Amino acid sequence: MTIVFKVSDKLKEKMIEYYTPLRREKTPPYAVFQAMDADTIVTLYESGKVMFQGISADIDAKMWSEMEQKLTGKKINIYENEKKKEKEKKERTVLYKKSTIGSDEVGTGDYFGPIVVTAAYIPKEQIPFIDELGVRDSKTLTDAKIMEIAPTLIKEVKHCTFILKNKEYNKYQKMGFNMNKIKAILHNKVLVEMKKRTPSYDAIVVDQFVYPQKYFEHIKEAIEKVNDIDFTTKAESKCASVAAASCISRYIFLLQMDELSKELSTPLLKGAGEDVDKLASKIVQTYGMEKLEEIAKLNFKNTEKLKQYL
């Protein structure tokens, strides 16, 4: 059993004092301590979160949650995370057995490269094939694994992909469109197309990145809209079609990055870290700002930070 909850600074001090004699030699990253108390491993993190693991985890957690209530008046439901896990498990079981259209996007956190959005249709009969192929959310798979399985997915799975290159993205930004609005427009675009191609399905699923009301506000000007959407968090782990869409999007994004790298004769970096700033400055020095507008999302902070390298 594993129980996690956040404690106040007052309780944090008492826990540090209590578990000092029981501490283990090695401390996990970002942890104040890890201790062994009978059958329970207790880890207190710098953030104030405490994790109880073991056969007696609920007994120890209850003791400290009751002390928290005495000290601060705060009531803690030690089984809240377990209930969330059960709920997610149930949602996954329900959605995963259905014939669904799902969409997912890649590239929204990368300074270089386009945004790629894919909608995929997976009938329930095709789910065993998806499982056997090892399809999961692209974020949990290595790029090498994506490159291995995505071509088969593209061949066998009904899907629709849209690539928003950065020149168009930057135009949207100048028009006042934020990232969530752009994502909503692109998701709607591929879902409209997939719905036309797939008249029979049990559900349309989108990994929730914004509240549904806001999503529909973002696409209110679209001529065609898909309205019958199930918005759910962690959809790629609950829905086979979203997982497939995620993998296909990532694969196409990687191909696009390879093409841009060949064009510039230098490997483009993913993400938006300091190394990306340095690379952006080299690209500007060699090709000018006009080229950066074609390959980068100029509203990212990287654009401002690269100036220190010029």
pLDDT in tens, 138-152: 677 899 999 999 999
Region 184-209 average pLDDT: 95
Cα separation, 18 vs 5, whole angstroms: 18
- Count CA atoms closer than 13 A to 24's CA, side-chain side: 16
pLDDT at 188 (0 to 100): 98
Q: Residues of the chain with pLDDT > 70: what percent? A: 94
- pTM assigned to the model: 0.72
Q: What are the domain boundaries of the chain?
A: 2-76, 90-261
Instruction: Give the model confidence (pLDDT) of 292-308 as tens digits.
Output: 999 999 999 999 988 77
Asked if 135 and 243 touch (Cβ cutoff 8 Å), the reply is yes
Region 114-132 average pLDDT: 94
Tell me the CA end-to-end span of the chain in Å, nearest whole number.
Answer: 54
Instruction: Give the model confidence (pLDDT) of 41-83 as tens digits.
Output: 999 998 889 999 988 888 899 999 999 899 888 888 877 666 6
At residue 89, does pLDDT exceed 80? no
pLDDT at 240 (0 to 100): 92
Backbone angles phi, psi at 141, to 5 degrees: -110, 150
Same fold, 2-76 and 90-261: no
Question: Which of 209, 202, 212 has the alpha carbon at shortest distance from 241?
Answer: 202
At residue 19, does pLDDT exceed 60? yes
Which residues of the chain form beta strands (DSSP E)?
2-6, 31-37, 40-45, 49-54, 100-106, 115-122, 158-164, 203-207, 229-232
At residue 91, does pLDDT exceed 60? no
At residue 189, does pLDDT exceed 60? yes
CATH architecture type of domain 2-76? 2-Layer Sandwich (3.30)
Question: Which of 201, 260, 256 has the alpha carbon at shortest distance from 228?
Answer: 201
Cα separation, 152 vs 146, whole angstroms: 10
Angle, CA 47 vertex, CA 45 and CA 50 arms, to 5°: 45
User: Which of the following CATH numbers is that of domain 90-261: 3.30.499.10, 3.90.550.10, 3.30.420.10, 3.50.50.60?
Assistant: 3.30.420.10
Cα separation, 76 vs 74, whole angstroms: 6
